[in-house]
Amino acid sequence: MRSKRAGRCDDPSALPPGEGGTVTEGEKTSSSRRQFLRCAAFAAGGLCAAGLAAGGISRLGRATESVAGAIPAAPGPVSPLRMAKAKYWRPLANKRVQCLLCPKRCEVGDRERGFCGVRENREGVYYTLVYGSAAAARPDPIEKKPLFHFLPGSFAFSIATAGCNMNCRDCQNWDLSQARPEQVRSQHLLPAEVAKLALESRCGTIAYTYNEPTVFYEYVYDTAAEGHKRGVRSVIISSGYINQEPLRALLPRLDAVKVDLKGFTEEFYRRYCSGSLKPVLETIKTVHGSGKWLELVVLIVPGLNDSETAVRSMCKWIRQTVGADVPLHFSRFYPNYQLRNLPPTPYATLRRCQDIAKGLGLHFVYLGNVPEAPSQNTVCPGCGKTLVERRGYTVTAMALRKGSCSGCGRRIPGVWD
């Protein structure tokens, strides 16, 4: 049980991360650099959380309780080394602060945290508690993000922390996203070290992923700069639930953005994600307008966001707002987290979504989490030639010539080199 309700979020449906114990010093022990690089060499498989030898991510607490508003600080100490002054907040009276990073705009009292559970007010100053605190760090195929038109066949050094500014009832990574920093094992990896490890593990890209990068904004911001200094690119895998000012400040440091469009109604966002649709649509427009590479993913949940009307409206909006060339991935839902009562998305439903999208003129429509589907391949919209052939997360053939179709010469949008 929470001891008290603290702070206030603009979103009245806010569901905070779960309660749980704190980790002991022994449990906090970081994995060694050697362990880490060994993990990098065996990139296939599950998450490589820091402290992986001890069994990966700790599950000390699960988010099953819902309480509106911001949450009180956890009792255990957080290493000061992992704290940094937060960006985008303003002071209020009586040592309170308001976070301006995401649309929740939490108002947080002294010694309390915002909804995401990883930003804390101390004496009227707002801090991030996860700066340099990597709860997962490993190379992944870029196809796993998924980014299909961004350096296909390459690896992205993928890092995560605890926390999220939404609480999606179908979250696939809820162990991380709905945890506090004290509830996951993490490794202290400063931005320059992440960039160096990316290079050492032969990754040309750093991906901020698994949990929402918005909540570890400062870490992303500095790590992306360190990456660029070394020629390593940065991509965020995001829900897009971020305010415009921080987004615009971050974009020059990014090379690609994947946005999860959870559904296409405010009702869906409110009921199933503790968020809202409008800011996400603004994010998509801003990213597209910035010229950074953009891909969109929609997790199709049976009976919740798969109606023909919703899918059609979404595809129409995409076509009209960001154009036919932005890749759209329809991803299969598997029962998870708070929606274990629903069945996996039928393949026929995904095919129907794909048909709708293609019928409305979208050029690149993929199906995800469906290993048996041929729809992982990139096909030229001009002549129909298969340009990138994929099996699972592996690229098995490429027929692109300098970013153009080797059959008809049509330019294929993306970052290929």
Q: Residue 240 CB, nearest distance to ligand SF4 (Å)?
A: 13
106 binds ligand SF4 (CB under 6 A): yes
The nearer residue to ligand SF4, 227 or 275, going by C-beta atoms, is 275
The nearer residue to ligand SF4, 104 or 145, going by C-beta atoms, is 104
Among 50, 101, 284, 287, binds ligand SF4 (CB under 6 A): 101
Q: How far apart are CA 185 and CA 225, in angstroms?
A: 25
Q: Residue 252 CB, nearest distance to ligand SF4 (Å)?
A: 21
Among 36, 115, 174, 208, binds ligand SF4 (CB under 6 A): 115
DSSP for 249-276, written as a single string: HHGGG-SEEEEE---SSHHHIIIIISS-
Stretch that binds ligand SF4, among 113-121, 271-279, 357-365, 397-405 (CB under 6 A): 113-121
Q: How far is CA 301 from the centre of its chain?
A: 18
Q: How far apart are CA 113 and CA 33, in angstroms?
A: 32
362 binds ligand SF4 (CB under 6 A): no
99 binds ligand SF4 (CB under 6 A): yes
| Structure-token pair, residue 368 | 């995800």
Q: How far apart are CA 47 and CA 49, in angstroms?
A: 6
Q: How far is CA 80 from the centre of its chain?
A: 26
Q: How far apart are CA 96 and CA 159, in angstroms?
A: 31
Stretch that binds ligand SF4, among 74-82, 94-102, 134-142, 392-400 (CB under 6 A): 94-102
| Structure-token pair, residue 169 | 């009832």
247 binds ligand SF4 (CB under 6 A): no
Q: How far apart are CA 271 and CA 167, in angstroms?
A: 10
Stretch that binds ligand SF4, among 20-28, 109-117, 279-287, 308-316 (CB under 6 A): 109-117
83 binds ligand SF4 (CB under 6 A): no
| Structure-token pair, residue 144 | 């796993």
Tell me which residues in 1-30 interact with ligand SF4 (CB under 6 A). Answer: none
279 binds ligand SF4 (CB under 6 A): no
The nearer residue to ligand SF4, 101 or 400, going by C-beta atoms, is 101
The closest residue (CB) to ligand SF4 is: 114
Q: Residue 271 CB, nearest distance to ligand SF4 (Å)?
A: 18
Looking at the DSSP bridge assignments, the partners of residue 136 are 160
The DSSP code for 74 is P
| Structure-token pair, residue 93 | 């009276």
Contact predicate 122/133, CB 8 Å: no
364 binds ligand SF4 (CB under 6 A): no
The DSSP code for 194 is H
The nearer residue to ligand SF4, 165 or 378, going by C-beta atoms, is 165
Q: How far apart are CA 156 and CA 220, in angstroms?
A: 14
Among 58, 158, 161, 165, binds ligand SF4 (CB under 6 A): 165
Q: How far apart are CA 126 and CA 201, in angstroms?
A: 34
Among 83, 156, 215, 353, binds ligand SF4 (CB under 6 A): 215
Residues making up the chain, counted from first to last: 417
104 binds ligand SF4 (CB under 6 A): yes
Which positions touch ligand SF4 (CB under 6 A)?
99, 101-102, 104-106, 114-116, 119, 165, 215
